[in-house]
Amino acid sequence: MRANFEDAYQGLGPAAARLFRLLGLHPGDDIGLAAAAALADVPEAEARELLETLVQRGLAAASGDPSEQARFSLPGPLRGHARELAEREETAAGRDAALRRVLDHYLAATATGGRDAAGGEGVPEAEGLALLERERWAEAVETLQDGLRGAEDDGDPHAILMARHNLARALTMTGDLDRAIDLLGPLPDEFAALPEPDDYNRARALASLGEAYLRARRPVAATNFFGQALEIMRKQDAADQEAVMFVHIADASRQRGDRAAEGAALDRAVELYESISSPKAAPLAARRATLD
């Protein structure tokens, strides 16, 4: 799969390749036309052409009608690949600027009552994720609760699961761990039971469960969930997400006081990040050195 992805990516023009990379930084699971234009800092007409190119190349998926209401996403591990490329080929300042543009876009929609500022796409889910990125946890919970109610009204099973997951992530950050764990607990099995099983988001839900248990200072349970997520990410060929799981396992090992396990997990995380030329490798290597 990775070889097919590389072939498709290498065939892109510079502007389409850049948008693909930046989509890996987007906090939500899908994006509308106006937000994509903000992310890439290009006019909406150009963003539409670039997104259509990505869809034609199999590097993005489109849902909804072909107007401004269409939504675009990077299926499964493609999002991880895009993130890898963004870390390798975009400067830190460029990544921060792109993320700031799209978050400002969503927050402007929140400030003006939703859809007007967002060009018709100011959905609560995206606004909540923008608030989550800005560490405005309580506001994110309130907005994501609205997003969950909207998803339940629409009745799309996959959208409902994603909305539950996003709300649970926000609850974890507010410290409402019992409620977060209640929401997250069924999600891995529910993602697997969809008519089209979603292994990638099943792994993400397992990772979020691990993070909630880690914050609850239950590192053994957390490690179990991180390990399950890791196995799925390996099959998805998502090196950056594998590395994230090893960092989480290292954190759980530290909480248990197991320096040897922490060091082994960090070694693997550094190796994976170095394999994709990620700048995250260096600080983790420095952390690993403190254990010797």
Q: Is residue 277 part of a domain?
A: no
Q: Is residue 40 part of a domain?
A: yes
pLDDT in 10s for each residue of the chain, 292 residues: 566 778 889 999 999 999 999 999 888 778 889 999 999 999 999 999 999 999 999 999 988 665 556 889 888 778 888 988 898 889 888 988 998 898 888 877 666 557 444 444 445 777 787 788 778 899 899 989 988 998 899 888 988 999 999 999 999 999 999 999 999 999 999 999 999 899 989 999 999 999 999 999 999 999 999 999 999 999 887 888 899 999 999 999 999 999 999 999 999 999 999 988 888 899 999 999 999 8
Per-residue model confidence (pLDDT) at position 208: 97
Q: Is residue 288 part of a domain?
A: no
Residue 130 and residue 27 in contact, taking contact as beta carbons nearer than 8 Å? yes
CATH of the domain at 95: 1.10.10.10
Residue 123 CB partners (closer than 8 Å, separation 6+): 114, 147, 150
Q: Is residue 203 part of a domain?
A: no
Q: Is residue 75 part of a domain?
A: yes
pLDDT digits (tens, 9 = 90+) for 176-222: 999 999 999 999 999 999 998 999 899 999 999 999 999 999 999 99
Q: Is residue 228 part of a domain?
A: no
Q: Is residue 211 part of a domain?
A: no
If one counts the domains in the chain, the total is: 1
pTM: 0.81
Q: Is residue 176 part of a domain?
A: no
Q: Could you list the residue range(s) of the whole structural domain that residue 91 is in?
A: 1-132
pLDDT digits (tens, 9 = 90+) for 60-83: 998 866 555 688 988 877 888 898
